Structure 1
C-alpha cells in the first residue's frame, strides 16, 4: 500500500513539474509581401446615373377631330415625316372647298372692279365722268384685291389644317405607345397627346456630383495633382444594375455652372453611343468617371485585401516581424489592384500570401524580396461592391 501511495505521489510531482514548463514557441509563417509605393493611378469617381434620350418629341393633335387610323407600330423606329395617325379629314375638306369657292368669287369681283377702273380712266381724262366716280371705282378695286388676299390666306390656313389630319413624326426615333385609339376625339385647343418619339442613339447619362467634390477636383487639376488626357476629355464607363459593364465608353459633354440649391450638387452629363439600343431611357446605371490620373496613388493587390461591411483590411508586417491588421479605405480596382485612399503609407510591407494562416501577432518570415506594384494608369475600374 505504501508503495502504491509513493508511486502516486511521484506521478503527481512529475505532472506538476511538466505543467509549469513554457509552451513551445510558435513557428513563423512564411509569407510573400509587397512594399507599398506611390504611382500614377486613374482618378475614378463613381456616381449613380440615369439614361436619357438625346431628343424627345411629343406628338400632339393640331386639329380637332376623330382618330380614323393608327399608321405605325408601337415601339418601332420611325423616320422624320412618317405618318403616324390619320384624323377624319371630311369636315376640314369641306371647309377647304368652301374657302376655295369664296376665293373664286372674290377673285371675280376683283377682276370686275379692275375692269371698271380701266374703263373709267380715259373717261375721267375727257371729263366724261367726275373725278369722284373714278376714285370710288379705284377704291372698290383695291378693296376687292384686299378681300382676295384675305381669302387666299384663309385658304392656305385651311390647307394646313387639312394637312394636319395626317399626323407625322416630327423627328426620327423610336415611337412609344399610342395614347389614343381609333374613334377617340382629339382636340387642337387642348393639344391632345397622341404618342412620344425618343432618339436613343446616342443617349445621355445624367448624374450629380457634390459641389465640394467638383471644387476639389478643379483645384487638384489646377495644382497639377491630376492630369487629364491630351484632349482634356473625361471618359465615363457604365455598369448595369446586374453588375455587367456597358462595352462602349462615353465622354462628359456638359457640366453645369450652377449649384442646385435643394441638393447642393452640380449636374454632369455624358454622351454614349447606343447602336444596339442596350441603354434604355429612364434606366439607372452606375457611372465610373475617369477624371484624369492621380500622380501619387497607392495600390495593393486584390488578393491582399479582405472585404468587410466596414471596408477592407490588410495584413502588414510590423516592426517586430509579426502580422498586424490594418483597416484601409478602398477606391476603385485597377487591373487586379485596389486603389487605397486611406490606411496605408509609402513603405508599408503588405502580406499577399498565406492570409488564411495569419492572426494578429503571429510571427512571419518573408519568403521574397518585397517589391512594389505599378498598375497601368488607364485600366478599367471596378467598385468594391462589384468585387465581392
Structure 2
C-alpha cells in the first residue's frame, strides 16, 4: 500500500515539470519576437548611416593665369651724388632740411662769398687797367708807324710799340680768364643740388671750414623717382627672358615686405651679360616709377616677374588639393548626387601645375564645372556623404 505522502510528492514533481516546460516555451516565444523585431529594424538603421560631413566647396573654373617668377630684389637709387665743396671757406648757412625732397638747381649750402667777390673785383680791375694801357700802346703804335713811313722814327721804335701792344693783348686775355675763374669760385660758393632727389643727413654744419680737397661729403642726394630694383633669376629661364625682352619687355611688380598696398610696377631694362657660376643665376634690373616714394635705396623688395599667361587654364583653390602616397588628389562631388545641398564625394587624383596667389592650375584630372571640396576633407573618404555649407558658417 502506497503512503499518502508519496502520492503527493509525485503530483508536485509533475506540476513542477509542466511549469518549467511552460516557462521555457514562453521564454523562447519572447526571444523569437525580440529577434524578429530587431531583424526588421536593422535594415532601417543600416540605411540611415552616419550624418553627412559639413564641407565648403568650390567650382572648377577656366581662367587666364599668369606664369610668375618670384625673387628678392634690392632697391637702388637711379643716381646718387655725394655733394662736396669745390672751394675753401666757412659755411654760412644751409637752405634745406635733412630728408627733404629737392629739385635740380635748388640752393643747398652757402659758403662765405666775400673772398671770391673780392677776387672777382680785383681781376676785373686788372683787366680794365691793361685795356687802358693797350689803348695808349696802340696809339703809340699808329704814331710810330706813320713816322717810320716818313723816315722820322726808327723801325726799332715801331717794332717795340708793336711788341708792347701784343704783350698787353695777351695780358688782357689772361686777365679775362682770371675774371672767369673768379666768377666760377664765387658761383661755387653757392652749392646747389645737381639732380632731383631726396637729401640725406647733413654731415657738416654751418660755421665749419670746408676745403675743395676734402674727401668727406657735405650731404648725399639720392634720386628715388624712379628707382632701380635689381634681382636675380635662375639661369634656366634665360631663354624665356630673352624672348620676352625681344617681344616687348618684361613687366615686374615690386613691394616691400609686409606692405599691404598694391605693388609698384616697372619694366626690366637691363639683363646682365654673364651668368654667376657660383649661384647659377642671371642678374636683371628694372626701373620702377616709385611715385609714392615707398621704395628706398638699400631696401629689400619682393619681386614678381610675369613670364607668360596660360589662357583658359582650369584652376581650383590651393586648399582643395590633398596629398597621399599615390600623389595629389581632390574630393569631388559625384555627378548627379547633389540634392538638397547634400551629395556624395569621390576621390580623384590630379596633376597640379603653376600656383598663382591662392589658385592652382590643374593640368589633368578635372573638368570645368566640377565641384571640389576645399574645407572639411580630413573627415572624408570615398563615398562619404557631405552637406554643403556657406563659407561664413564653417568655423
Q: Do they superpose with TM above 0.5?
A: yes
* Alpha-carbon distance, 1:117 to partner: 0.6
Stretch moving more, 150-159 or 246-255:
246-255
Q: 1:166 — aligned with what?
A: 190
Distance 2:135 2:280 in 1: 71
Is 1:250 aligned to 2:286, yes or no?
no
Q: 1:331 — aligned with what?
A: 355
Which of 157, 171, 175 is equivalent to 2:181?
A: 157
Q: Deviations over 1:27-51 (max 9, x none)?
A: 7977898898997521101111122
- 8 Å CA contact 2:228–2:286 kept in 1: the answer is yes
TM-score by length of 2: 0.69
1:108-123 to structure 2, matched below 5 A, reads 108-123=132-147
- 8 Å CA contact 2:322–2:330 kept in 1: the answer is no
Which of 201, 219, 227 is equivalent to 2:225?
A: 201
Distance 2:260 2:132 in 1: 75
- 8 Å CA contact 1:32–1:367 kept in 2: the answer is no
Stretch moving more, 136-145 or 258-267:
258-267
Which of 61, 85, 110 is equivalent to 1:86?
A: 110
> For the structure 1 residues 58 and 120, does the alpha-carbon distance in structure 2 shift closer, same or farther, using more than 3 Å as the test?
same
Is 1:42 aligned to 2:61, yes or no?
no
Stretch moving more, 55-64 or 252-261:
252-261
Is 1:352 aligned to 2:373, yes or no?
yes
- 8 Å CA contact 2:331–2:372 kept in 1: the answer is yes
Distance 2:150 2:294 in 1: 86
In structure 2, the residue corresponding to 1:162 is in which secondary structure? helix
Distance 2:69 2:231 in 1: 11
* Alpha-carbon distance, 1:294 to partner: 3.6
Stretch moving more, 75-84 or 238-247:
238-247
TM-score by length of 1: 0.70
Q: What is the aligned residue count? A: 323
Q: 1:285 — aligned with what?
A: 301
- Consecutive unaligned residues in structure 2, runs of 5 or more: 1-45, 333-344, 388-395
- Structure with more helix by fraction: 2
Which of 128, 149, 174 is equivalent to 2:152?
A: 128
* Alpha-carbon distance, 1:306 to partner: 6.0
Distance 2:262 2:140 in 1: 79
Stretch moving more, 245-254 or 181-190:
245-254
* Larger-Rg structure: 2
> For the structure 1 residues 353 and 36, does the alpha-carbon distance in structure 2 shift closer, same or farther, using more than 3 Å as the test?
closer
